[in-house]
Amino acid sequence: MAWTKDKALTLIREVGLVPIVRVPTEEDAVRAAEAIAQGGIGIAEITMTVPSAVRVLEGVAGRYGDKVLLGAGTVLDPETCRAAMLAGAEFIVTPSLNLQVIELARRYGKPVLPGSLTPTEVVTAWQAGADMVKVFPCGAVGGPKYIKALKRPLPQIEMVPTGGVNLENTAEYIKAGAAAVAVGGELMDLKALKEGRLDQIVETAKKFVQAVRAGRAALAR
């Protein structure tokens, strides 16, 4: 599949989940992408903190780029952003607010989810052209209650809470107004990945999908 910006954003909105993949090897990343696809998510954010991250992105893009929407996470500067896009990243995620990264991603037509925490940062990111705003570290400052508080004055900004997201609170985040949630270790069990027990990750992925649906169903009532 050719991932246009609209297609990428539509998938993130529909699925409501952005799995964060922090793994030590390209082989682990390929396994993770396979499990994510089987679990019905079809999105993976590979962090630039993993060893040889650019090579890992290239490898996963080569094998699963048409089936899984690949993003690059923990992008700190425009140089890393450009390298990630050239390696196959179709969306960009940052842990902090960097206006140059937003500008570069927009220039090349890639969705960008910059990290922000305070209302000022969230609005600044949105005004700079963020497609969605990653609220991080959300769990440390109130979790779903914090998202609900931010959304009251800022209903027009799509927010993706990150940090502390798990199966127990995913539905609450969605009910609080999150457009999607980003989840890391709670989904990507490194031990299961290493041992080739992809079925365990697939089942966890399915549970997260169900949690998002449950949150949306509660909102629709």
Could you say which of 90, 110, 134, 186 is catalytic? 134
**Residue 4 vs residues 10, 91, 157, 181, 219: alpha-carbon distances, Å:** 10, 10, 21, 21, 29
- Distance between CA atoms of residues 91 and 57, nearest Å: 12
- Residue 134 annotated among the catalytic residues of the structure: yes
Spot the catalytic one: 26, 34, 45, 158: 45
What is the rounded CA–CA span in Å between residue 123 and residue 155?
11
Could you tell me the strand order of the sheet in which 181-183 lies? 112-113, 91-93, 69-73, 43-47, 17-21, 181-183
Active site residues: 45, 134
